[in-house]
A and B are shown apart, each in its own frame.
Chain A
Amino acid sequence: MILGGKKSMEFIKPAAKVRGGVRVPHRKNTSECATVDMPSPKTVKIMMSQHIGAPSVPCVKKGDEVKVGTLIGSPAEGLSSPIYSSVSGTVSEVCDAMLSSGQMSKAIVIESDGLMTEEEFTAPTVETKEQLIEAVKNSGIVGLGGAGFPTYVKLSPKTPVDTLVINGAECEPYITADYREILENSDDILRAVYKIKKLLEIKQVIFVVEDNKPKAIDKLLEVVSDKQDTDNSVRVMKVRSMYPRGAEKMTIYAATGRRVPPGKLPADVGCIVMNITTLGSIGRYLENGKPLVSKRLTVDGSAVANPMNVRVPIGTSAADIFEFTGGFKNPPKKIIFGGPMMGFAVPNDQIPITKSSNALLAFDEKTVGKMSSSDCIRCGRCVSACPMSLMPAAIERAQILGDVDELNSLGVRNCMECGSCAFGCPAKRPLVQVMRLAKQIVNKR
Chain B
Amino acid sequence: MEKLTVSANPHIKGAATTQRIMLDVIIALVPAGVASVIIFGWRSLLVIATCVLSAVISELICRKIMKRSNTISDLSAVVTGLLLAYNLPVSIPLWMAAIGSAVAIVVVKQMFGGLGHNFVNPALIGRIVLMNSFAAAMSHWTLPVMYQSGADAITTATPLVQMSNGTAVKYTDLLFGTTGGCLGETCVIALVVGGIYLVCRRVISPAIPLVYIGTTALLTFFAGFDPLAQTMSGGLMLGAIFMATDYATSPTTTLGKVIYAIGCGAITSFIRIFGSIPEGVSYSIIIMNIVTPHIDRLTRHKPFGSVKAKGEGK
A binding-site residues for B, Cβ under 8 Å? 16, 22, 24-25, 173, 249, 257-262, 264, 269-270, 331-336, 340-349, 361, 363, 368, 371, 374-381, 383, 387-391, 393-394, 409-411, 414, 417, 419, 422-428, 430, 432-433, 436
Contact = CB atoms under 8 A, between A and B. Distances in A.
A387 B12 contact: no
A345 B7 contact: yes
B314 A270 contact: yes
B208 to A, nearest CB: 11
A346 B252 contact: no
A389 B74 CA distance: 29
Contact of B8 (A347, A394, A433): A433
B116 A363 contact: no
Nearest to B204: A379
A423 B5 contact: no
A419 B6 contact: no
B305 A260 contact: yes
B1 A332 contact: yes
Contact of B311 (A257, A368, A424): A257
B278 interface: no
Contact of B252 (A332, A349, A374, A383): A383
Contacts of B303: 262, 388-390, 411, 414
B4 A426 contact: no
B253 A383 contact: yes
Contacts of A393: 252
Interface of B: 1-2, 4-14, 16-18, 20-21, 71, 74, 76, 113-117, 247-248, 252-253, 296, 300-306, 309, 311-312, 314
Contact of A419 (B9, B302, B311): B9
Contacts of A368: 5, 11
A406 B116 CA distance: 20
A147 to B, nearest CB: 15
B21 A377 contact: yes
13 contacts: A22-B14, A345-B9, A374-B115, A375-B114, A377-B248, A389-B304, A393-B252, A419-B9, A422-B10, A423-B12, A424-B14, A427-B18, A430-B8
B4 A422 contact: no
A21 to B, nearest CB: 12
B231 to A, nearest CB: 26
B115 A331 contact: no
A269 to B, nearest CB: 5
A410 B300 contact: yes
A375 B76 CA distance: 12
A423 B304 contact: no
A375 B117 contact: yes
Nearest to B21: A426
A391 B305 CA distance: 15
B252 A419 contact: no
A409 B296 CA distance: 13
Contacts of B116: 375-378, 427
Contacts of A16: 311
A170 to B, nearest CB: 16
Given A375-B117, A389-B303, A432-B9, A348 B1 contact: yes
B310 to A, nearest CB: 9
Contacts of A348: 1, 4
B16 A346 contact: no
Contacts of B309: 259
Contact of A24 (B12, B247, B253): B12
Given A361-B11, A426-B17, A427-B18, 4 more contacts: A262-B305, A391-B301, A430-B7, A430-B8
Contacts of A410: 300
B43 to A, nearest CB: 33
B16 A387 contact: no
A341 B300 CA distance: 26
